[in-house]
Structure 1
Amino acid sequence: MTRKQRRLILIGSSLGVLAFAVALILSSLRESIVFFNSPTDIADHKAAPGKRVRLGGMVKMGSLERGDNLQIRFEVTDGNRDIPVSYRGIVPDLFREGQGVIAEGHIEPGGTFQAETVLAKHDENYMPREIVETLKKQGHWQETAAPDSGRVKQSAK
């Protein structure tokens, strides 16, 4: 075997190993990526029970129930569909009815979303972009005037 042939075999096998490693990394990342889904998306696509998903929408008014041992039940709505959510743990201070929420977890066989993580908006002006877009598409979004956060008012002397 000539020197040139050995070099080509070495380069070819190195590229093959590199391609295999990249394919392996991409396949593992694809399984761990969690996308945002509205209640309508989950109901329409019939998310498989046990599959990890992110559910986003508004906490439905009148649906919040607190139980023993930090157990919380509520419904997430996008205006069209509601999905019951069960969560055990401490929710953020700003979590309440009528506010935006994102829950990470999976769908139980009975249709209840079992949340492992619950995230609430962090101030009165924030709502995740995906929720805003979904609510706008469905005609349930109402624009509100946000206070001017970038300007400092100066007092007259």
Structure 2
Amino acid sequence: MKGLKKQRRIQVILVAVVALIASTALIGYAMRDGINFFRSPSQVIAEPPGPTEVFRIGGLVEEGSITRGQGEQISFRVTDGGAVVPVTFTGVLPDLFEENQGMVGTGRYVNGVFQASEILAKHDETYMPKEVIDALKEQGVYQEADS
């Protein structure tokens, strides 16, 4: 009788371990497209990501760089003070998107151009995404806004 209980306990533990491994693998598989790493323009230029890698880029929209193409096609350059990356986007930009303002874009870096699938702009005159502030502080460009 004792041997049967011990064998049953080992079987339950093995099933639990297999279920834990399977659930961890499924969660990892489901999240693989949902995780986007943030990079500043300097990081993108220093170590260009592959054309299939989706990531976020953030910085300031360079003054005088916004050009509108056919339809909803927009091109501009984003900078962190150390490097400049050209960006293309097809779609409607947020109302608060403008030159010399913070932005974060999600997309791919293909042939030296960041092809954005989503663009986020600043919330108000003092807001800037934390990742953008950190990247600008690294470059020595960021200055605190006066309250």
TM-score (norm 2): 0.91
Residue 5 of structure 1 corresponds to 7
Amino acid paired to 2:117: E
Q: Does 1:91 align with 2:93?
A: yes
Could you tell me which residue of structure 1 aligns to residue 141 of structure 2? Answer: 140
| Structure 2 residue matching 1:97: 3-state secondary structure | coil
Q: What SS does the aligned partner of 2:108 have?
A: strand
State how 1:21-60 maps to structure 2 within 5 Å: 21-60=23-62
Distance 2:33 2:74 in 1: 28
Q: Do residues 112 (structure 1) and 125 (structure 2) align?
A: no
Alignment deviations for residues 32-90 of structure 1 (CA, whole Å, 9 cap, x no partner): 31121101111112211121010100000010001221110000000111110000100
In the alignment, residue 72 of structure 1 is paired with which amino acid?
A: I
Q: Which amino acid aligns with 2:129?
A: P
Q: Secondary structure at the match of 2:75?
A: strand
- Structure 1 residue 18, shift from structure 2 partner: 1.6
Distance apart, 1:22 and its partner CA: 1.3
5+ unaligned residues in a row in structure 2: which ranges?
none
Q: What amino acid sits opposite 1:68 in the alignment?
A: Q
Please report how far the alpha carbon of residue 24 of structure 1 lies from its aligned counterpart in structure 2 after TM superposition.
3.2
| SS of 1:104 mapped into structure 2 | strand
| TM-score calculated relative to the size of structure 1 | 0.85
Percentage identity across aligned positions?
43
Contact 2:60 2:78 in 1 (8 A): yes
- How far apart are residue 23 of structure 1 and its match? 3.1
Runs in 1 of length 4+ with deviation above 6 angstroms? none
C-alpha distance in 2, partners of 1:117/1:98? 19
Of 19, 22, 27, the match for 1:20:
22
Distance (whole Å) between structure 2 residues aligned to residue 31 and residue 68 of structure 1: 30
Residue of structure 2 equivalent to 1:150: none
Secondary structure class of the residue paired with 1:131:
helix
SS at structure 2 position matched to 1:25 = helix
